[in-house]
Structure 1
Amino acid sequence: MTRAPFAADPDAPVLREFGGPQSAERRGPRSAFQRDRDRIIHSMSFRRLKSKTQVFIAPDGDHYRTRLTHSLEVAQIGRVIARALGLDEDLTEALCLAHDLGHPPFGHAGEAALSDALERHGGFCHNAQALRTVMRIESPYPDHDGLNLTWDLLEGLAKHNGPVSAPGWALAELDAAFPLDLATWPSLEAQVAAVADDIAYDNHDIDDGLRAGFLQLDDLLTLDFLADQWRAVEKRFPHAPRERLLREMIRDQIGMMVNDVIANTSAAAKGMGSVAEVRAAGRQLAGFSPAMAAQERRLKAFMYERLYYHPEQIAAAERARDVVARLYAAYAQDARLMPGDWPARLPAQEPQRSRMIADFIAGMSDRFAMEAVARIYGTRPEGLINV
C-alpha cells in the first residue's frame, strides 16, 4: 500500500514521554505505532473493557456489545478507512482500541456519578481519564509510570474529537507534563478513529436494540434512508429470514457510511503534503459528507429517543449511578475498604485523594462494582441486568 504524504510516519523520530526519542531497541520487528497498539492490547485496562457497559448494563446475553467488542469493531472500521486513504493503519487501530479506556463501570451513568462526586475537585471526564489511564495509572514497567506511548498516539487520543480549548484538570496536568498541542486538530488517523467510533455505535447499537426488543423495525423504517436500505435488501434476498435481512441492512448502512467518509476525506485532504499540514489546516478533514452527516444526526436523535432514553434504560442508569455514588462515599469515608495497597497510596491532601479514589472506581468492571457494593453494604444491587 502506498503511504499518503499526509499520513503519520512511524519511521520518523518518535517522541515518548520517558526515554527521549525512540531508541533502536525493539522487541521484535515492530514499528513505533505497532508497539503502541500492542501495549494497549496487553494492558489490564483493555481487558477490563470486556465487562464494561456499552449500551446495556451487565447483560446476561453473550451477543450484546461491551466496551471491548465495541472497541474491536471500531478498530476494524478504522483500519478499513485508513488503508483506503493511505494512512498509518497501526496508529489508527491503536487509537480506536484505546478511545474508551477511561470509561468507568456502567458507561455514561457511572461517569455522571463520578462527575457529581468530584464536583468540588474538578469533575470527571472519560476522555481525559483515558489519557490518565495510559499515561499514569496503567504502569507495568519498572522505570516509569504509564505505558509510555508515542506522542502521536497521546495527541490523537486527547484531541480525536477536535481541539481542546479548555481542558479539565486531568488533561491539563498531563499536557503540562508532556505538551500535546491541544489547540490544533490532530492527525487524520485520530480523526478517522473518531468517525469510525460514530459508525460503529450508530449501527451496532441498532443491532443490540433490536435484539433486546427496545427497537422495532417499523419504527426504524420511519427514517427514509433506512427504509431505502431495507427495501433494497428485501429485493436482493426476497426469501431470506427477517433476522438475516436486518443484519444485511446494518452491514449495508455501515458500508455506505465508510464509503462516504473515504470519498469526502480524500477530497478534503487533497493537496495536504504532510501530517503537519493536517494539524495546521484549522478544520476537520476526515468525516461525513454534508448529506451523510445530516442522516447520521437524524439516526442519533432517533437512537437517543428510542433506545438510550428508553424508560427501562433510564431506570437502570439511575440504579447504576447509585452504585458508583455509594462506592465513592464508602471509600471517601473509610479508605481501608479499598483492596491491596490502595489505602496506603492514597494522598492525605485534597483534591488528589478524591481523584485517586475516582481512579480506582473508574477502573472497575460493572460486575466488580456490583460485588464491591454488596461486600460493603451487605446487599447486592438489583435491577441492573436489564436484558
Structure 2
Amino acid sequence: MTNRAPYAADPDAHGGREFANAGAVSPLAGAPSAGSGETRGPRSDFQRDRDRIIHSMSFRRLKSKTQVFIAPDGDHYRTRLTHSLEVAQIGRVLARALGLDEDLTEALCLAHDLGHPPFGHAGEAALSEAMQRHGGFDHNAQALRTVMRLESPYPDHEGLNLTWDLLEGLAKHNGPVSAPNWALAELDDAFPLNLGTWPSLEAQIAAVSDDIAYDNHDIDDGLRAGFLEPDDLLQLDFLADQWRAVEKRFPNAPRDRQLRELVRGQIGLMVNDVLEQTRANIKGFSSVSEVRDAGRQLAGFSLEMTEHERTLKRFMYDKLYYHPEQVSAAERARDVIARLYAAYSQDASLMPDEWRARLPESDPGRARVIADFIAGMSDSYAIQSCEAIYGERPMGLTNV
C-alpha cells in the first residue's frame, strides 16, 4: 500500500492467527496461505481475511436477513448483505483518505453483521431472552463466534482463522469491552484480544461507517415504504437546510430524485466531517499501538455532527423503527424465534443431522448450539422451519 500512515495497521506486522501452522491452499497464490503473518502470492494477510469472509456461507446468507423491514417482498429494500456492502464502500473511502489499511477496513465492514440472527434486532431480542439462563446472546459476540468457530471450511482447524487484528476489530469496534458475555469471554480465553483497549483506527472507521450507512439508507428505505414522509424529515433543521439546497440546485427534478440527492448529500457531509475530525484527533500519533493505548475514540464525528446524528437516530426510532406496523411485525418475528428455540430444545430430532450431531448432553452447551443454529438462519428459512414444525405459516411478517 502506498501512502500508508504510521498509525495504520500493517498486514506484514499483524498479531498473528489463532492457528499459526494452518496451511490452507490458496488458489490465487498457488502456495500455502500464511498462518502467522507471512505474505505469499499477490494478496496481503488482510486481503486473505476479506476474501475468506466474502466466500463464507455466513456472508452469503446475509442476502436474506432483515436490515430494517422484516422479510420484505420488494426487490429494492436493503438486506444485511446490501447494507454490509454499503458500509464497506464508505469504509474504504475513509480508510484511503486517512492512509489506513483499506483491506482490513473493508473486511471489518463486511463481517460486522455476520452474527445477526433472522429478523434483525427483533430476532436478537428473542434469542437473548431464550438464552438468558445460558449466558445471553449478542450479535457482536456471535459474529466473532461465527468466524472463529462456526464457519469452518478448512480441514485442519475451526473457523476462518482470521488475523488477530480483524478479530480484535470485530470484538470491540464499538470500543473496549469491560464485561464480555460468555461467547466473547470464551473466545478471548482461547485467543486473547486485549478487550480493555480501543481497537485500531480501521475498526473505529468500520463502526462509524456503519452509522453513516444505516442512518441515511434507512431513510431511503423508509421513504420507499411510505413509513416516512418527506415533510417529517424537514422537521430536522439540519436536513431542512440540505433539502433547501437540493431544491435550489435541482428545482425541476422529480421529487423522488430530489430525496435521493438529499440522502447522498447527507452521506457526503458525514464522511467529510469524520475525515476532518479524525485528522484533528490523530495529529501527532505515530503508531497503531499509540492508537490502541489512547484511551479514547479517535475516529468519529465532530461534536456538532454527533448531536445531529443523535437527533436523527431519535427521529428514526420514533417514525420508522417504532412505527406500529414495524412493532407488530417485530412481535410476530420474536414469536417465530421463541417457538423455534422451544421446539429444538424439546425435540432435537427436528434439527438437521449435522447440527444434531454437535449437541452436547446438557446445558449451557446444548442451548448454545441451538442458538447458533437459529442465529445462522435466513428470514425465509426461519419462517419455513416454523411452518414445518407447527403446521402453519407465521402470518404478517412481510410489512412492505
The TM tier, using the shorter chain, reads over 0.9
Number of the residue aligned with 2:36: 22
Distance 2:245 2:39 in 1: 54
Matching of residue 2 in structure 1 with residue 3 in structure 2 = yes
Distance 1:84 1:13 in 2: 22
2:142 to 129, 149, 156: 129
Offset from partner CA, 1:194-235 (integer Å, 9 cap, x none)? 000000000000000000000000010000000000000010
- The alpha-carbon deviation at position 177 of structure 1 amounts to 0.3
Note closer, same or farther for the CA distance 1:13–1:7 as it changes in structure 2 (3 Å cut): closer
Q: 1:181-200, aligned counterparts within 5 Å? A: 181-200=194-213
TM-score, normalization by structure 1: 0.99
1:339 to 347, 352, 370: 352
- The alpha-carbon deviation at position 344 of structure 1 amounts to 2.1
Distance 1:112 1:221 in 2: 32
Q: 1:93-112, aligned counterparts within 5 Å? A: 93-112=106-125
- The alpha-carbon deviation at position 256 of structure 1 amounts to 0.2
Matching of residue 149 in structure 1 with residue 173 in structure 2 = no
Number of the residue aligned with 2:250: 237
Matching of residue 359 in structure 1 with residue 357 in structure 2 = no
Distance 1:46 1:92 in 2: 16
Offset from partner CA, 1:246-272 (integer Å, 9 cap, x none)? 000100000000000000000100111
| Secondary structure, counterpart of 1:162 in structure 2 | coil
- Percent identity over the alignment is 79
Offset from partner CA, 1:108-130 (integer Å, 9 cap, x none)? 11111111111110110000000
User: How many residue pairs end up in the alignment?
Assistant: 386
Note closer, same or farther for the CA distance 1:299–1:116 as it changes in structure 2 (3 Å cut): same
Number of the residue aligned with 1:252: 265
Tell me which amino acid in the other structure corresponds to 2:124. Answer: E
Tell me which amino acid in the other structure corresponds to 1:379. Answer: E
Of residues 3-12 and 200-209 in structure 1, the stretch that sits farther from structure 2 once superposed is 3-12
| Secondary structure, counterpart of 2:357 in structure 1 | helix
- The alpha-carbon deviation at position 341 of structure 1 amounts to 1.9
Matching of residue 176 in structure 1 with residue 189 in structure 2 = yes
| Secondary structure, counterpart of 2:283 in structure 1 | coil
Where in structure 1 do 4 or more consecutive aligned residues deviate above 3 Å? 23-26
- The alpha-carbon deviation at position 13 of structure 1 amounts to 4.9
Unaligned runs of 5+ in 2: 22-34
Distance 1:92 1:207 in 2: 25
Offset from partner CA, 1:161-218 (integer Å, 9 cap, x none)? 0000000000000000000000000000000000000000000000000000000000
Number of the residue aligned with 1:319: 332
- The alpha-carbon deviation at position 342 of structure 1 amounts to 1.4
Distance 1:163 1:123 in 2: 19
Distance 1:5 1:45 in 2: 34
TM-score, normalization by structure 2: 0.95
Note closer, same or farther for the CA distance 1:379–1:22 as it changes in structure 2 (3 Å cut): same
- The alpha-carbon deviation at position 22 of structure 1 amounts to 2.1
Distance 1:316 1:23 in 2: 46
Tell me which amino acid in the other structure corresponds to 1:22. Answer: S
Contact 1:14-1:32 at 8 Å conserved across structures: no
Matching of residue 300 in structure 1 with residue 313 in structure 2 = yes
Note closer, same or farther for the CA distance 1:224–1:23 as it changes in structure 2 (3 Å cut): closer
Tell me which amino acid in the other structure corresponds to 1:50. Answer: K
Distance 2:213 2:354 in 1: 38
Matching of residue 350 in structure 1 with residue 363 in structure 2 = yes
Q: 1:61-72, aligned counterparts within 5 Å? A: 61-72=74-85
Unaligned runs of 5+ in 1: none
Distance 1:330 1:235 in 2: 58
Distance 2:251 2:327 in 1: 38
Tell me which amino acid in the other structure corresponds to 2:308. Answer: Q
2:235 to 200, 214, 222: 222
